[in-house]
Amino acid sequence: MEIKSGVYAVGAVDSKIRMFHGYQTPIGTTYNSYLIVDEQITLIDFVKAPFAQTLLSNIRAVIGGRRIDHLICNHAEPDHSGALPDVLKAYPAAKVYGTANCQKALAAYYPEAEMDFQAVKAGETLHVGQNTLTFIPMPMVHWPDSMATYLAEQKILFSNDALGQHIGTGQVFDSELPLEALLDRAGDYYANIVLPYGSQTMKALEAAEPLAIETIAPSHGVIWTKHIPEILERYARWGNNETDEKAVIVYDSMYHSTEHIANALTEGFVRAGVPVRPVDLKTRHISDILLDVLEAKYICVGSPTLNNQIMPSVASFLTYLKGLSPKNRTGIAFGSYGWSGEAVPNITERLKQLRMKLPLEGLRINFKPSPSELNEALEFGKKFAKILKG
């Protein structure tokens, strides 16, 4: 599909994928690739390996028997570069461009592939006829090799993983989807992939700020044309770790005791006027919770004690959260226990490792909570919310 004069989307839709790096993708994803047809022909990114023939077929539908002169690799991760060996077999005279770290990664992934590689630096350009491409390295958004590419004459930023979404339902442009649903998918994507690299993301956006941009073409999901101000505003919030005055309560429970505590805490937040979302880990995947975590200032984590430890589902959530490293959050731990009660202090320690503020000691209740203990939990939630609200 032609997205602007002489610029074509030639990637692949993966509507069946449901898990991506441990992150659920309930509506699939895309592996975007872009073809620029000028005096010289340029291909940006190369889709996941199983979709190589789809990519090559899409390319031939646009250029027929013409050759590709330039291959730009914005990111060496295999969902972006997997088809590169097949593309090089089809177009062996093409030169490959990317950062020096990209060159190292491609050599490690595809040692059998012969390629003429040119490492590029910030601000370097490639003239392909009427169009000029400028390279914008953005290390650690989200790999060391990452970069974006800017097509000046068409005012297109090929943004790599930044500003992407996992949407594999066939839409091409942001105007084809309801804005809030689209921003939620972009939030899911940011929270599960980009969140640890907020400061680097902000630097990359600052580097792109002077550019005239009418189209943002990411490596996954739909192309931004209509709602560029909205997604840039959200990225600024997320990149600066700005949150809303709301809470998320994440827990698992064996015999409903910890669940009852979670419900009482929820009621306490509600009575204190703080929006709150309780999340039972038996009903939602850990990656599905991250959109709530991305926007909530207050994180409450609960578990009963099982074999002197946290329940595996809660431990998995905390491990996942540690890798994503959200900042400027306030937390509490809670849970029920039988005879030992290590879960709450264990959770508290993990929240400390995440550098969360912990204004109150964790809440522990022995066995099934009594009505008075549930009222204590409710008051605990109110007290916590009032402390947070000042």
189 counts as catalytic? yes
75 counts as catalytic? yes
C-alpha to C-alpha distance for 56 and 72, rounded to whole angstroms: 16
Segment (H or E) for 299: strand 296-302
Residue 326, amino acid: P
**Burial class (CB within 10 angstroms; exposed 0-12, middle 13-18, buried 19+) of 19:** exposed
Residue 114, amino acid: E
C-alpha to C-alpha distance for 358 and 356, rounded to whole angstroms: 6
Annotated catalytic residue: which of 2, 21, 39, 116? 21
Annotated catalytic residue: which of 80, 220, 227, 260? 220
356: left (phi over 0), alpha (psi -120 to 50) or beta: beta
Structure tokens at 40: 């010289």
DSSP 193-205: IIGGGHHHHHHHH
CB neighbour burial string for 360-382, b if at least 16 within 10 angstroms, e if fewer: eebbbbeeebeeebbebbbebbb
190 DSSP 8-state letter: I
Annotated catalytic residue: which of 38, 69, 86, 161? 161
Annotated catalytic residue: which of 189, 235, 320, 337? 189
C-alpha to C-alpha distance for 190 and 202, rounded to whole angstroms: 13
256 counts as catalytic? no
C-alpha to C-alpha distance for 108 and 110, rounded to whole angstroms: 6
Annotated catalytic residue: which of 14, 69, 77, 295? 77
Annotated catalytic residue: which of 14, 45, 79, 267? 79
SS3 assignment, position 273 = coil
80 counts as catalytic? no
Tallying the residues shown for the chain, one arrives at 390
Residue 384, amino acid: F
Annotated catalytic residue: which of 70, 142, 166, 260? 142
C-alpha to C-alpha distance for 102 and 153, rounded to whole angstroms: 26
With the C-alpha atoms ordered 368, 371, 376, 381, is the resulting torsion angle positive or negative? positive
342 counts as catalytic? no
361 counts as catalytic? no
Annotated catalytic residue: which of 8, 34, 69, 75? 75
Q: How far is CA 389 from CA 149, 277, 383, 386, in A?
A: 44, 17, 10, 5
Which of the residues are catalytic?
Answer: 21, 75, 77, 79, 142, 161, 189, 220
